[in-house]
Amino acid sequence: MDKLKKVLSGQDDGNNDGSGILERANQASTLAWGTRMKGFVACFVLGVVCSILGTCLLWIPRVGLAVFAVLYSVGNICALASTMFLIGPCRQLKTMCAKERAFATVIMMVCLALTLCAAFWWKNNGLALIFCVLQFVAFTWYGLSYIPFARDAVIKLCSICV
């Protein structure tokens, strides 16, 4: 259990020289393990609640889609940010930009921004819904990258179904 705490808190690798401003900020804002877990759970639950609430409010006439787009996007941001409590913001950004996750991260962030643009700026409900679906798919693909061989299993399953 101690090894898991060290890995998730970023203390496992001995090559942290703290030279970057983000590294120094990360080191200055260390949290206790229990506080990290509480923050993770609270942020993740908030993200799930926002996404579910947005889905429930989708059917409100005139404003439903805009409320859905905002709550769904905020829910995804909260769920993504929840892991920052476990591994820290610097390490989170590094893992998001890793070779195997960079494409999914970019697609997810672009679709998130386009969802909000379609709902508020362009006022195109169909487009906002399409971007929400793409956001969900990109977030799922991003999440699968953390599970060994999960992406390969999904690709194989899709190839069998087609």
Could you list the residue range(s) of the whole structural domain that residue 132 is in? Answer: 2-11+18-161
Can you give the pLDDT at residue 5?
Answer: 63
| Confidence at residue 32, expressed as pLDDT on a 0 to 100 scale | 84
Residue 28: predicted pLDDT: 58
pLDDT of residue 60: 86
pLDDT tens for the 162 residues of the chain, in order: 665 566 566 665 555 454 566 666 556 567 788 898 999 999 999 999 999 999 898 888 888 888 998 999 999 999 999 988 888 888 889 999 999 999 999 999 999 999 999 988 898 888 988 999 999 999 999 989 988 999 999 999 999 998
Q: How far apart are CA 83 and CA 79, in angstroms?
A: 7
pLDDT of residue 13: 56
- Looking at the structure of the chain, the number of domains it has is 1
What pLDDT score was predicted for residue 27? 62
Backbone angles phi, psi at 41, to 5 degrees: -65, -45
Measured at the alpha carbon of residue 20, what is the angle toward residues 15 and 23, in degrees to the nearest 5?
A: 65
Question: Residues near 33 by Cβ (< 8 Å), separated by ≥ 6?
Answer: 5, 9
**pTM, rounded to two decimals:** 0.74
* pLDDT of 86: 86
